[in-house]
Amino acid sequence: MATVEKSQTAPVKASSGLRALGWSAFVVLLIGIGVYFWFQSDSAPNLSWMAWTKPTAIFFITIVSLLVGMSVWEAFSPGGGPRLGILQFETTRGDRLFLSLLGSAFINLAWLGWVGPDLWKALGVSIVYALLVFRFV
């Protein structure tokens, strides 16, 4: 007769995930504030050789901040929380971040083509999309 063994893993507390998310958001906020004040100072880097604008710099700083935030989250709550979502394949937090960024890029490109260069509403749609991806995928 076969015996069924139970998993010996300890249950993960929901509060540890929220704590890690809070720390991640705090780190991202600190990085954003620091970079903002750095770009306002006289020692800001001269990005004119690459024809960068402040919105372009903010875009790339946001991507870096998200990656740092996800790294902090992973340090506090390792494992990535793999789960099966509506797409029926296993995703981790990093996978969901990638899907969010990729989808947001397509949302913004479609917005540029159909509506025009006012991207603030597209940003709102992208944030809602990212929240849905992290919740259901």
Q: Tell me which residue has tokens 């937090």.
A: 93
> C-alpha dihedral over 132, 134, 136, 137, to 10 degrees?
120
pLDDT on residue 15: 64
- Angle at which helices 93-114 and 54-76 pack, to 10 degrees? 160
pLDDT on residue 87: 82
Distances (CA, A) of 126 to 34, 85, 129: 24, 19, 5
Query: Any bridge partners for residue 127, and if so which?
Result: none
Please say whether the beta carbons of 69 and 16 come within 8 A.
no
- Residue 119: closest CA among 128, 127, 130, 111: 111
Q: Where are the domains of the chain?
A: 17-76, 79-137
Report angle CA 123, 47, 41 to the nearest 5 degrees: 85
Spans of the chain below 70 pLDDT: 1-18, 46-48, 50, 52
**72 vs 45: CA distance, rounded Å:** 27
Q: Is the dihedral of CA 48, 53, 54, 57 positive or negative?
A: negative
pLDDT on residue 22: 75
pLDDT on residue 133: 92
pLDDT on residue 100: 93
Instruction: Say whether 53 sits in a helix, a strand or coil.
Output: coil
Neighbours of 97 (CB within 10 A): 20
For the full predicted model, state whether its pTM sits above 0.75. no
